[in-house]
Structure formats: structure tokens, C-alpha cells
Amino acid sequence: MRRLLGKLGYTLPLAALVLATCGVAAPPRPTPDPFAGQYSATGGGGALPAVQALADRFKILHPGVTFTVSETGSDAAINLAATGDVDVGFISRSLTDKEVAKVGALPIGFSGTAIIVNAANPVTNLTKDQVRRIYAGEVASWVELGGDDLPVKPFIREANAATRTTFEAFVFGGKPPYAKTVIEINETTQMLTAVASFRGGIGVATIGSRTAADTRLRMISIDGAAPTLANITGGSYKIFRPLFLVYPVDPTRVKPAVRAFLDYARSQEGQQVAASVN
């Protein structure tokens, strides 16, 4: 009996070792995402919804990647992308000849500039010439335009805002003869608040979910065309501007994750994601 137990005593550990080595193999560790990390993107408000949508979708594909997206304006985006102080920039206008030498540009669609009025204003359509007359100071009351007898209160964005330059190119085709009654407003939120504060208010804002969701105001048609993405792509709504991602022209200065993000934005899916929010 002792002899049998002795044999079992030596045999059981050996059997356990055999089972351990011949059992189910441990699952392999996932390959680390080489793109994982924190990255920055900044630029003009017109392109911000499209870029945020692209960043959110890219994070689903690469969970370890986080893009911090902020609004600083198109001019700042170009300078920051050129110097490398931001990983990728985004702009809502075309590059100038000088800027082409500083950054590369990847188109991600179009953004429209809407003419907005107070929600209490019954006017739903203006002609291009009526808009010109408003901002030139030739119209004093909305009654002249089919509305209520209210004083016209025009607002415009700051000089370098893409919404303003697009508006001026369409309405004036050159240097605008703004009346002294036109009030300059910085930043989108302040513009929306200004127009909402006066029943006779009128201003400009980027066409998109943010403007559409503000029940205090309304985007109106211009020359019979409503400010929609379908009308922009179809050509009936004329006040729009191109959207781009911008990055250093030297490819060695573009981080691998940023290069992958640009490739995604360039893909058919990426273009569809960018277009879906405008």
C-alpha cells in the first residue's frame, strides 16, 4: 500500500503538470494601437461640426485616440497648423496664395452662411438686393420688406470671420458699403443672442444644427432658395464656402495618427460623415 501511495504521490504532480501544459492556451494580448494618444484640432466654426463628427467616428475605430476640438477661427488654424502648435487645423474658406506655401488642405465639404432673423419676424424670404439695401442703410423698417412696422437692426460678424467674408462676396461682390447702423459682433453665440434680442434683428450665421436648433431665431430663404445642404449642393443657395482640414506641407511633420485621421477624412465614409452634419 505504501509502495502504491508512493507511486501516486510522484505521479499526481506530474499529471497536473501535463494537464497544465496541454490545456487551453491563454488568449493573446491585443496589439497596442500605434496611434493611441491625445491630439489637438482647432479652427473655424463653420467646419467645427464636421471635424467633431470625424473625430468621434475615428475614436470608434481607434479607441485609444482622443482629439480635442476647439474653435479659434480659420486664420489661427492655418498659423497653428503651420507651426505645429496644433496637430491639425480646420478652416471654412479657401487658402490664399501665401497660405498654400504654409499648409496642405484636404476638402471635407461645404458650409453655408444663413441670413437669420428674430423668430417673431414674419419675413421668410429676402432677395439679394434687399439684403444689400438693409446693410447699406437704405431700409429703415421691416414694413418696407413685407414685415411688421419695426426698425431694422442689422448685425455682422467681425472682419476676419468666414461667415462675413462669404456674405460680403455674395451680397456686395467687393468692398461692402456698410451703414453706420450695422453692429459688429464677435463669435457665433453672441450673434445668435443679438438677433434674438431684437424683434427687428437680422444677422449672419453658419447653416447647421446649432443655428437650426435655436428657437429664438429663424434662417430665411434668399431669392427663394432655403438655406439647406441640398440647395447648397444643388446650386440654388448661393451663400456658401468650402471646408478644409489643414496640416503642415512637410509630410515628416505630420504625426502618424494625424496622417491616419486625414486618410480617414479623405475616404468615402469620412466624406459622408463630414457631410452628414451640415
Q: How far apart are CA 234 and CA 250, in angstroms?
A: 36
CA dist., res. 272 & res. 58, Å (int): 13
Q: Which residue has the higher pLDDT, 278 or 149?
A: 149
pLDDT in tens, 224-245: 999 998 899 889 999 999 999 9
Q: What was the pLDDT predicted at 33? A: 78
Ordered by start, the domain boundaries in the chain are 37-111+242-275, 112-240
pLDDT band at 30 (very low <50, low <70, confident <90, very high): low
- Tell me, what's the pLDDT at 168? 95
For 65, left (φ over 0), alpha (ψ -120 to 50), or beta?
beta
Q: What is the pLDDT of the chain when averaged over all its residues?
A: 89
pLDDT, tens digit (0-9, with 9 covering 90-100), for 205-223: 988 878 989 999 999 999 9
Pick the more confident residue, 161 or 246.
246
Sign of the alpha-carbon torsion through 172, 175, 180, 183: positive
pLDDT band (50, 70, 90) for residue 2: very low
- CB neighbours (10 Å) of residue 123? 17
State how far the Cα of 210 lies from the Cα of 52, in Å rounded to an integer: 13
As its CATH architecture, domain 37-111+242-275 has 3-Layer(aba) Sandwich (3.40)
Mean pLDDT of 135-152: 97
What's the topology of domain 112-240? D-Maltodextrin-Binding Protein; domain 2 (3.40.190)
Task: Please report which confidence band the pLDDT of residue 28 belongs to, taking 50, 70 and 90 as the band edges.
Answer: low
Distances (CA, A) of 42 to 51, 67, 76, 264: 9, 10, 8, 18
pLDDT of 118 reads 98
pLDDT tier for residue 160 given thresholds of 50, 70 and 90? confident
Share of the chain above pLDDT 90, in %: 73
pLDDT, tens digit, 9 for 90 and up, residues 69-125: 999 989 999 999 999 999 999 998 899 999 999 999 999 998 899 999 999 999 999
| Cα gap 97→81, rounded to integer Å | 16
Helices 256-266 and 268-275 sit at what angle, rounded to 10 degrees?
A: 80
In tens, the pLDDT along 165-195 reads 999 999 999 789 999 999 999 988 999 999 9
The confidence score (pLDDT) of residue 276 equals 81
Domains 37-111+242-275 and 112-240 belong to one CATH topology:
yes
203 CB neighbour count, 10 Å cutoff: 27
The model carries a pTM of 0.73
> What is the distance of C-alpha 276 from the center of its chain?
11
Q: Decide which of 275 and 24 is more confident.
A: 275
Q: Is the dihedral of CA 46, 49, 51, 52 positive or negative?
A: positive
